[in-house]
Amino acid sequence: MLHAADDLLVERGFTGLTIEGIAQRAGVAKQTIYRWWKSKVDILLDTLIDDAREALEWRTDDAASTEENLASHLRRVADFFDEPAGQVLQALLGQAQLDSETAASLREGFLKEQRERDVAGLRELLGRDDITVDDRTLDHLVDVLLGPLYYRVLVFGAPSDKELLDSTTRLVVALARESSSTSS
């Protein structure tokens, strides 16, 4: 059912996605879907959580530098937006602008959890180079790191290019090092 919802969203968009269509594509009765989810937003939230956790996971290559690991993570995030799960996130963010329940569910669920993973991932990656920053600075660095990607995709509907990802990486590492040296 989750895969059917993903596929239909990509094919038909958010407004064309229906419980009836999901049931038909998944080969189940509508009642089966309603037994588990109350709306298409709830189904999409579950697909997003299921698919994005691995795609947006922070990974480090011990042989790579902090900058290389950070750039690699940004490429995974940029690639994620081209995948069905990334399109689900885009659709939910769009719907969240129109519906306060969707906004609250998205923020208190997936976005909050992903933010925690992003903060922890960046902290761990910077710590490999003995770069330590306070929690507030780390929070701001996550904004600086991911903001350009979300802006490019959500505002302009354009993919992120290598130069944006590389310059964002350099900027975040430089700001972290600067903040770390002034707080020591």
Domain count, the chain: 1
Tell me whether residue 162 is in a domain: yes
Q: Helices 135-150 and 162-183 sit at what angle, rounded to 10 degrees?
A: 170
What is the residue whose two structure tokens read 């354009």? 158
The whole-angstrom separation of Cα 66 and Cα 48 is 28
Q: Which residue range forms the structural domain that includes residue 155?
A: 41-183
Tell me whether residue 25 is in a domain: no
pLDDT of residue 182: 66
Tell me whether residue 26 is in a domain: no
Q: pLDDT (tens digit, 0 to 9) for every residue of the chain, 184 residues total?
A: 888 888 888 888 888 888 999 999 999 999 999 999 999 999 999 989 888 988 999 999 999 999 999 999 999 999 999 998 899 999 999 999 999 999 999 999 999 999 999 999 999 999 999 999 999 999 999 999 999 999 999 999 998 899 999 999 999 999 999 998 765 5
pLDDT of residue 184: 52
Tell me whether residue 3 is in a domain: no
The whole-angstrom separation of Cα 101 and Cα 119 is 25
Contacts of 183 (CB under 8 A, 6+ apart): 132, 133, 134, 137
Q: How is 19-33 classified by DSSP, letter by letter?
A: HHHHHHHHTS-HHHH
- Which amino acid is residue 79, in one-letter code? D
The whole-angstrom separation of Cα 1 and Cα 35 is 12
Q: Which tokens sit at 10? A: 């990509």
Tell me whether residue 123 is in a domain: yes
- Specify the CATH number for the domain of residue 57: 1.10.357.10
Tell me whether residue 23 is in a domain: no
Element holding 163 (H helix, E strand) = helix 162-183
Tell me whether residue 125 is in a domain: yes
Q: Which tokens sit at 121? A: 């991932």
Tell me whether residue 27 is in a domain: no
